[in-house]
Structure 1
């Protein structure tokens, strides 16, 4: 089967090459050259704009054009195609997503944001992916940082940072109508309208419905329904003075895979409101004030969680001689009510927590701007582990068409509400310490003749105080290391054809303390990380009307979950019928039939979806 899949993808590539040679079209598939693509501006690494190819970190940007080509309906599915991100589809509704190990439904060492608003759940420090949605046509880019981001973003940014950045309202003017359906009646419907309110003031509103029927109605109940509405308002008040106001409301239901008798396994609803004001001060410093309020309700078979979050962050950028300084302060308030059933095992039921933080980073340019030393530290005080200091040191050296960089960072994960406040008899999670990581990274980027670019990273992460599940509760009794190599190649075979080849290899070695009563837990976590993953991504503009994209993915076995290694092929064909109307056909999991990606009983099956879009 593996040989057949490899031969299929090779045949696909070579036949595409022959057709491309016969076609005189020279369409840049991303709207930029390869050099310009890797000179994109990013903001998630240092909370300021900087060129991607000068970032002293393992960074990848999934662009708006790439997302459009994927034929996916959720952010979680789009992340499959980002190098170094581990994505497992548990069933039709649930995902396990992480970076550099420690994956699971409640993966807790990854910080995920939408426009700078954290979407991880303080209940368990993971992301409820089924309740976090956006209109994919409104996503400008997804910035992914592999490695710690604690010195800038704080606790829980241990192994990576994902920031989903949406487009300005000015870029989404007019009507967008989109409908996608597959042959199993799963469907996604989106409507969006954008208009100009006044000079330099733009607005958009949207509504989205997503429905996924059960994978197998006789044996599974993994269906889900999600409805969401929202808006975004952008006002350019003056030069370097801009205001953004945006918000969303949502509700959804997820089936209970474990029980046909209780079909509604999970319900969620909530809303958020965010304001972002950026301006230039009298000192020529770049100032930014970001604040948001969020309210969520989550109900699962044994627990109800109601939560209110208010967050405010202020930062300023200032250039002084060879020093590029950025610093800021922040405050976060969390109020919750957690009810458990059939008996109480979370105490107290209601809790109000506060987090205060401050950070500073200095990017020092040396040797005529070829050498950069980036030193930063963040202080954070929380109600679970008290004071946390998160330093980072990065060094980069620019060569002709190349750059090398090295970094050391410290990161922590703070105990969660469930871990700290669980109470049942002698079982408790009191007096837990933060999980800690010291991470060493070495990276190299190289470009050859504007047709091939290589991004290579080697890393070693040393962990201590990792949690184990003991007979008397959670305890900090696990330590160990994860080390690996990540390679990302981008090859411009023709002006209209870009190929990416991504490879990663990693090993995890965890051990428990001698007095631990649960030594098998560390080995279970160890066996949930694939040693090897690979991706081949082909994006080809046949002509001005047709685009063909092919995706080959390999994921190594997960020994703890008894999941075999697997290959899958995905493909999309896009037809731009008119300037405003397009049709896309997307096929998923071609050639490998159904397979399991995690430990659920529900297999991930082949899927063919057709999507109709009218508008921009």
Structure 2
């Protein structure tokens, strides 16, 4: 397949479609994300530079210049986000907290449609396959987003905004191949619709295959993967006041993986190689209506379906969402009001490693929010207050109030402050499931001095419970922005206190220890092993922990000259747990990241992107590492762009994630890679 793709790239590159071959100018404001219009923070259009939140916008220009092949990889372009590869397919991503594959404090959306999985309240990043060239921007909020978006947006929000189909009325072909990417082939067709004036459509189809990694932690890597997807979008403008968006996507993946599962006989952790299969479907309709020059309303309905097959979990669920919002500009304030309803159908399918405690097969959520933006001093000082009240069938009513101040000190300085409470509701795994994990060692109960006895393991389960409460997070944030002619500074300080955080308590039969001792005193080892084989230890989940997090985000952008832009970033977060009974759920430690990127227009047809990230590895049980990526883009002519991208250039391979106790996945070493790509736009 690689040979065919390389031949295709060579042949297409020798076709001339036009004489105009000047590459687009680097968009300074796009790269700085200063005056970009965003919607995720206030749930209405607002300038990023005057938004009272820590926000970063990844532009389409940045993504294309960097040669990224997935949304997860695109997030490495945003300073302050923890993005780590587990293997050649899977990702661990987090904001202001340690990254994890099953992170449940980060809300991810596509055009405002939530794509989280209720099983663990997170996202399967490997199944997220939005064509990069059709993404307008990715809005990243670092900090609380619960007022507008509901629970489980306590640490941040990622909103992937795709382009209007009116802006993609062309045929585009994208071809890529490389050392770890076997191939990626994508086709998009767009045009006008005849149903109404200024209406358009697009359709895409994408196929991708990854090679396996070169090196695993123990055994031969089995993380090769295949991903196929297709989707469509329709933008219909009935008149100047009413428009309809219809879009749908389907993705199917099959990939190998190495898992650490409890051996059915010894109960010790044993690495096994198995495949994962997933099918994801997304549908959404959004009707927007301008009521007057001072009011507009939006009604959105969406549907999602996910199925997954893994050795430890046969998963399937469907969700139905309805959201309504009205925005009004009154004499005294801007007012935003909305209501939502979500129904998750979650039929349980058990396995050798997983069973249901409460047989929860559906989750209902409904709620309302209101936000009022008062202008205290015209064009200078704003006060924004609001609350989101939401009921869910697991923990009942939850409230997420927020108050923000926005102060335009002068034309170049902006100060903001935020005080809010967020809520993280239990996931199904925490609330309902019993999961077999690596067995508890007898020596952890008491040491006998007999090595064989002490290393013998007892069958062990991680058990959720319907007594769990929602985690409540009170957050305080302060921010400062300084905009000069050629550079800007974005600084934010944050502190949060969480209560009802998850802890675990090992529990066992109180007669376990005396019974074991009785067998050993009479040297009845056969009786001991038979007895232990039929015993059980449970790690019971509780919501009695406390946690505090504090830190700083700094981003400095510098337009060196009209053809070069540099970004510096530094992120520090310290997390302290009051009850770290087991590293399975929490840690006392810090997160540190230093970031550098350079976007350089070499001449009219060539551009270069260079990026470096240094990250501390202590909480991930890895060494610190520096990732250096470089991408060169050549505008061959008006229609054809060729790119060459190198990732992880400093080392042949390095380990980014080794925390196998918070997931069944066993990480592999991430290889140095090179990718050759071509985009043809007719």
Q: Taking structure 1 as the reference length, what is the TM-score of the superposition?
A: 0.91
Rounded Cα–Cα distance in structure 1 between residues aligned with 2:602 and 2:624: 33
**Which residue of 549, 566, 575 corresponds with 2:634?**
575
Rounded Cα–Cα distance in structure 2 between residues aligned with 1:314 and 1:201: 23
Deviation at 1:427, TM superposition (A): 4.2
Contact 2:82/2:98 (8 A) holds in 1? no
Q: What is aligned with 2:497?
A: 462
Unmatched 5+ stretches in structure 1: 1-24, 513-517
Q: What is aligned with 2:232?
A: 231
Matches within 5 A, 1:9-408: 28-30=25-27, 32=29, 37-184=33-180, 186-198=182-194, 199-216=197-214, 219-258=220-259, 264-281=274-291, 284-342=294-352, 345-349=355-359, 351-400=361-410, 401-408=412-419
Deviation at 1:33, TM superposition (A): 7.6
Max Rg structure: 2
Contact 2:347/2:362 (8 A) holds in 1? no
Rounded Cα–Cα distance in structure 2 between residues aligned with 1:565 and 1:335: 42
> Which stretch has the larger CA shift, 71-80 or 211-220?
211-220
Local SS of the residue matching 2:654? coil
How big is each residue's C-alpha offset from its partner over 1:370-420, in whole Å with a ceiling of 9 and x where there is no partner?
000000100000011100010000001102211011110100110111111
> Which stretch has the larger CA shift, 334-343 or 159-168?
334-343
Contact 1:179/1:611 (8 A) holds in 2? yes
Rounded Cα–Cα distance in structure 1 between residues aligned with 2:603 and 2:503: 56
Q: What is aligned with 1:504?
A: 571
Does residue 452 of structure 1 match 2:487?
A: yes
Structure-2 change in CA distance of 1:45 and 1:261 (3 Å)? closer
Deviation at 1:369, TM superposition (A): 2.4
Local SS of the residue matching 2:361? strand
How big is each residue's C-alpha offset from its partner over 1:282-341, in whole Å with a ceiling of 9 and x where there is no partner?
584110011101111012211111111100000000011130110110110111112121
Contact 1:358/1:380 (8 A) holds in 2? yes
Rounded Cα–Cα distance in structure 2 between residues aligned with 1:408 and 1:120: 26
Rounded Cα–Cα distance in structure 2 between residues aligned with 1:432 and 1:44: 30
Q: What is aligned with 2:608?
A: 548
Rounded Cα–Cα distance in structure 2 between residues aligned with 1:381 and 1:150: 13
Q: What is aligned with 2:265?
A: none
Contact 2:181/2:675 (8 A) holds in 1? no
Local SS of the residue matching 1:126? coil
How big is each residue's C-alpha offset from its partner over 1:72-125, in whole Å with a ceiling of 9 and x where there is no partner?
111001101212211111110111101001421111100010011111111001
Matches within 5 A, 1:528-543: 529-530=590-591, 532-543=592-603
Q: What is aligned with 2:663?
A: none
Contact 1:286/1:316 (8 A) holds in 2? yes
Deviation at 1:601, TM superposition (A): 4.3
Rounded Cα–Cα distance in structure 2 between residues aligned with 1:605 and 1:499: 26
Does residue 409 of structure 1 match 2:420?
A: yes
Matches within 5 A, 1:518-533: 519-521=581-583, 525-527=587-589, 529-530=590-591, 532-533=592-593
Local SS of the residue matching 1:189? strand
How big is each residue's C-alpha offset from its partner over 1:162-207, in whole Å with a ceiling of 9 and x where there is no partner?
1000000011111111111003452211111001112311010000
Deviation at 1:261, TM superposition (A): 10
Contact 1:469/1:521 (8 A) holds in 2? no
> Which stretch has the larger CA shift, 304-313 or 233-242?
233-242
Q: What is aligned with 1:485?
A: 552
Q: What is aligned with 1:592?
A: 651
Local SS of the residue matching 2:151? coil
Rounded Cα–Cα distance in structure 1 between residues aligned with 2:464 and 2:477: 36
> Which stretch has the larger CA shift, 130-139 or 292-301?
292-301
> Which stretch has the larger CA shift, 281-290 or 537-546?
281-290
Q: What is aligned with 2:675?
A: 609
> Which stretch has the larger CA shift, 283-292 or 326-335?
283-292
How big is each residue's C-alpha offset from its partner over 1:212-260, in whole Å with a ceiling of 9 and x where there is no partner?
1110387111111111000000012211321110001111112121389
Does residue 440 of structure 1 match 2:476?
A: yes
Rounded Cα–Cα distance in structure 2 between residues aligned with 1:607 and 1:344: 37
Deviation at 1:592, TM superposition (A): 2.6
Local SS of the residue matching 2:148? helix
Deviation at 1:263, TM superposition (A): 5.1
Rounded Cα–Cα distance in structure 2 between residues aligned with 1:215 and 1:111: 29
How big is each residue's C-alpha offset from its partner over 1:477-501, in whole Å with a ceiling of 9 and x where there is no partner?
3212110011011100001111110
Structure-2 change in CA distance of 1:405 and 1:88 (3 Å)? same
Local SS of the residue matching 1:170? helix
Rounded Cα–Cα distance in structure 2 between residues aligned with 1:188 and 1:589: 20
Contact 1:511/1:519 (8 A) holds in 2? no
How big is each residue's C-alpha offset from its partner over 1:466-487, in whole Å with a ceiling of 9 and x where there is no partner?
1123224211132121100110
